[in-house]
Structure 1
Amino acid sequence: MSNILLIEDDPRVASFISKGLQEKAFQVNAVANGMNGIDEALAFPYEIIILDIMLPDMSGFEVCKILRRRKNISPIIILSALDSPDEKVEGLQAGADDYLSKPFLFDELLARIQAQLRRVEFNKGIVEVQSYGGVVINTDEQNATRDGQALALSPLEYRLLLYLMRNREKALSRIQIGQSVWNTSFDTNTNTVDVYINFLRKKIDKGFDQPLIHTIKGTGYMFKMKQYES
């Protein structure tokens, strides 16, 4: 379940891309201008950034340059109606990893996203391990066990566990969890995250000597084998 940042000011295009990617099990956060895009990209480790060029406050080229100057290494795929060779060169020189012209086929965008994800894994030499603290997640079958015992998880509980697993030993705010596990329209005024954390705790930690889900006062939660000291 990869997290994608979409920086696109056209609501129709943003809705089309977001819905299509969410149907493919991606988590998408969509913002409509460059400054918000920069803030989001620097605040949260997105696996992919999809970036429009013609934004209301600055060009996507400038967004790309700023992110690279700030040492953001997330792959950036530019989407733009500007499709001349010079503009494509400018985008790549600004630090983008790929450039896709509008209009585009969704399947082509999806293929390019998957190619960037594979490239990152290959370059890092990382094979994602879905095992920690006795919890093993089978992402193909979308189920999990702890110490060999099957965990009866709902789809939302499974997605929450997978997100915690992939961000283990990191302090996660309720907003981060909500926007990543639910969607970009997550209501920050609800206690939904706390409710589902409690559901998951009963299935992950109850009956085991070592708790894995820890509350961090004033912040949120952490998935960690050793007790977090606040």
Structure 2
Amino acid sequence: MSPLILLVDENEASAVFVRPLEQAGYQVVHVRNTSDASSYAAHNPVNLLLLNIEDEQADTQGLIRTLQQNHPHIPLFAMTSSDEEGHVVSCFEQGAHDVIVLPFYPRVFQARVANLLRIFGVERDVKRTIEAGDLHIDNASRMVSRGGQKLELTPKEFELLLHLAIHLNQVCSRQQILKDVWKHDYIVDTNVVDVYIRHLRVKVDKGYKFKMIRTERGIGYSLRTPLEAE
């Protein structure tokens, strides 16, 4: 299972933060405040907390302190646009395990995230191949094949299939897919998930007797293997 990073940011999840993490193979989930972070962490195996701190926030140190106290065993990485010495030192004093100043080099960011996970003993297996029946997904090369035949997927199709594979034989709601794959808490009046599922079905299931991508009526979708599906 890929390490799960919980991004705490009151604004929309910026691609500046998310893209380098996804390119490195991590799962990224976005919440807007410490309360939502605690709720999510209580029910999901969060491996790293990533906090985006804005200079104008009234109590930036309080955010760090709250997260550290509520989740002392999860590494806390703070991002800030302030390079003022006292501010950065204070972030560490309040409990941050690392601090990076924006803007940053993506590869440096990736390396420091990997370093924190390594220090906290999180096994980084994001490069391993996920196998589901005769479906093979290589996280590192982003190559997908079924029955030995290579499948040509768009980047978003790959991300959607990977999300379903990570939750193999589990039901994924449309809302959760939108949040984890499209990085939106909700989208009103859209069928984007259904459209991409149709695309995946053509590429993954067409020509095969066993259909792996299943519709869970009224809920969402799942990726099933033969032993679990029937």
The alignment's TM-score, normalised by the length of structure 1, stands at 0.71
In the alignment, the residues of structure 2 paired with residue 2 and residue 205 of structure 1 have an alpha-carbon distance, to the nearest angstrom, of: 28
| Deviation, structure 1 residue 181 | 1.6
Indicate the residue corresponding to 2:113 in structure 1. Answer: 113
Indicate the residue corresponding to 1:204 in structure 2. Answer: 204
Runs of 5+ unmatched residues, structure 2 = none
CA RMSD of aligned residues (A): 3.5
In the alignment, the residues of structure 2 paired with residue 43 and residue 117 of structure 1 have an alpha-carbon distance, to the nearest angstrom, of: 20
Q: Which amino acid is the alignment partner of residue 105 of structure 1?
A: F
Indicate the residue corresponding to 2:64 in structure 1. Answer: 60
Give the alignment of 1:74-223 within 5 angstroms: 75-79=75-79, 82-84=87-89, 88-91=92-95, 98-100=97-99, 102=101, 105-107=104-106, 108-118=108-118, 123-124=122-123, 128-184=128-184, 187-223=187-223
Indicate the residue corresponding to 1:20 in structure 2. Answer: 16
Corresponding pairs, count: 213
Q: Percent identity?
A: 27
CA contact (8 A) 1:100 1:109 kept: no
CA contact (8 A) 1:7 1:34 kept: yes
| Deviation, structure 1 residue 74 | 5.2
| Deviation, structure 1 residue 133 | 1.2
CA contact (8 A) 1:77 1:100 kept: yes
The alignment's TM-score, normalised by the length of structure 2, stands at 0.71
CA contact (8 A) 1:178 1:186 kept: yes
CA contact (8 A) 2:77 2:98 kept: yes
CA contact (8 A) 2:128 2:139 kept: no
CA contact (8 A) 1:34 1:55 kept: no
In the alignment, the residues of structure 2 paired with residue 123 and residue 37 of structure 1 have an alpha-carbon distance, to the nearest angstrom, of: 19
CA contact (8 A) 2:213 2:224 kept: yes
Write the deviation string for residues 97-133 of structure 1: whole angstroms up to 9, x where unpaired. Answer: x22154673444332112245567x654857332221
| Deviation, structure 1 residue 55 | 7.0
Runs of 5+ unmatched residues, structure 1 = none
Distance 1:52 1:178, change over 3 A: closer
